[in-house]
Structure 1
Amino acid sequence: MDLSFVVLFVAGLITGFSKFSVGGMGLLVLPIVMIAFPGPEALGILLPLYIITDVMAVASYRNKIAWSVLARFLPLAFLGVFIGSQFLANIDADQFLTFLGVTIIAMIALGLYLDFRPASFMRKPVTAYLMGFFGGVISMVANAAGPLFSLFLLEQKLDKTTYVSTRAWAFFIINIVKLPLYISLGLLSVESTETSLYALPGLALGSFIGFHFLKKVNPIQFKWMIRIMSTLAAFKLFLFS
């Protein structure tokens, strides 16, 4: 079997599962895709997959969206996306993988700190702005801001359904904003989109599994699974950098 087909099937499987369940696992996708498609071209292959799962997710989670949280979070995320596009145009693959790995470890450390200290500052507007900005940068640079968004949203004391719905809409809006920038950078084209289609079978299977898996997770397990998956992804990124 062709290596690129296997890689894209696995990438689709993880992407679908991550979008509809714990998140964070999406960080494993970029290194996996780069096995068959080394370099920034992997970003262009991944974006259509994320937009497809975004559409599926917002259609599935239409209710209980914390729009007030998004209103604080998204404005600087858009600025972060623009800054990230400039950053992406001037770094190589090794540099952005290392950058992402360091950032994920820092966010996990922050999450652990918040378990033992008051978390009220995470709900202040300035924190939302900072998280939005850096989330936008990381989303643009490597399509992998899941842990950053998750850590912020988890500290908003949202119930599980509201958390997933709000997260899904945040990614959907940000990924749509990224489309023209990816095209201008030459990372997204008709050819790369056709390649993305090979991931659709894995994407459908992963989404189905993730959607049903989410119903069986309690809040404490939910938080720790996000952290464990994020840590594994960070080490994976270091290995590929």
Structure 2
Amino acid sequence: MDLALWCVLAAGLVTGFSKFSVGGMGLLILPLLMIAMPGPEALGVIVPMYIATDLMAIVMYRREIAWKVLAGLLPPALAGVVLGSWLLSELDASAFTPLLGALILGMLGLGLWLDHRPTALMRHPLAARLTGLVAGFISMIANAAGPLFSLYLLEQRLSKNAYVSTRAWGFMLINLAKLPMLASLGLISSESLQLSLWGLPALATGAAVGYWLLRRLNLAQFKWLIRIMASIAALKLFAFG
């Protein structure tokens, strides 16, 4: 088994586990793939896998969706996806790698700030537009918009079920919008789709394990473990390429 396949299996395992457990591990997934696929090519492999997990999630969490909240987020998020696609078309692999590292470090910093400084700014009328634009952009470039998207939804005072359902639907729609952009950039091909398919069994395994472990984990300690691992990966990308 070659290195690329091992990395795809590891990314699939982490993707499924993160979606159906504590979340927050999305920051690790793209760096894992980039061990074998340096550059934006890794995006073409991981986005179809994300869509598969999104579909699994919306089957489980298909009730209490806050469509009004999504209606405010999605149009600017799609604009952010287009902006991110334009930037990807102008970047080479050597510039993409440190940019990815910087974005991951930024999202980690946001997560730390949110732990200690909850804010009401996300209920401002302009917050949906700005959040959607930035989240779409970061999702297109780095698949790392989870903390920002979650921050906005948490501040909308949704019920737990509405939060989970709305988040799952939002990410699925954003990821679907990324597919034609990635295809137009030549980042999705028959080869990349084959690798994505190879990752599906690991993805399903990760989802089952994550769902089972959710109530058995020390969430605070686990969150810090994720942050440390993501920080190491991001620093490696940012400093060393």
TM-score tier by shorter-chain length is 0.7 to 0.9
**2:121 maps to 1:121:** yes
| Aligned match of 2:236 | 239
Q: Distance in 2 between matches of 1:226 and 1:97?
A: 24
What secondary structure sits across from 1:36 in the alignment? coil
Q: For structure 2, list consecutive stretches of 5 or more residues without a partner in the other structure.
A: none
Deviating above 4 A after TM superposition, structure 1's stretches of 4 or more consecutive aligned residues are 110-118, 215-218, 224-228
| Aligned match of 1:90 | 90
Most deviating of 119-128 and 132-141 = 119-128
Q: Distance in 2 between matches of 1:217 and 1:155?
A: 25
Q: Distance in 2 between matches of 1:190 and 1:179?
A: 13
1:52 Cα offset (Å): 0.8
TM-score by length of 1: 0.87
1:162/1:216 CA distance change after superposition, 3 Å = farther
| Aligned match of 2:172 | 172
| Aligned match of 1:4 | 4
| Aligned match of 1:49 | 49
Q: State, as a whole percentage, how many aligned pairs show the same letter.
A: 53
User: Counterpart of 1:129 in structure 2: which amino acid?
Assistant: R
Q: Distance in 2 between matches of 1:217 and 1:72?
A: 34
1:238/1:36 CA distance change after superposition, 3 Å = same
1:5 Cα offset (Å): 2.5
Are the counterparts in 2 of residues 40 and 93 from structure 1 also a CA contact under 8 Å? yes
Q: Distance in 2 between matches of 1:115 and 1:40?
A: 31
Q: For structure 1, list consecutive stretches of 5 or more residues without a partner in the other structure.
A: none
Are the counterparts in 1 of residues 111 and 147 from structure 2 also a CA contact under 8 Å? no
Matches within 5 A, 1:1-241: 1-114=1-114, 116-117=116-117, 119-215=119-215, 221=219, 229-230=226-227, 232-240=229-237, 241=241
1:118/1:60 CA distance change after superposition, 3 Å = closer
What secondary structure sits across from 2:90 in the alignment? coil
1:96/1:154 CA distance change after superposition, 3 Å = farther
Alpha-carbon RMSD: 2.4
Q: Deviations over 1:194-217 (max 9, x none)?
A: 121111121011111222334557
User: Counterpart of 1:195 in structure 2: which amino acid?
Assistant: L
Are the counterparts in 2 of residues 14 and 206 from structure 1 also a CA contact under 8 Å? yes
Most deviating of 146-155 and 96-105 = 96-105
Aligned length, in residue pairs? 238
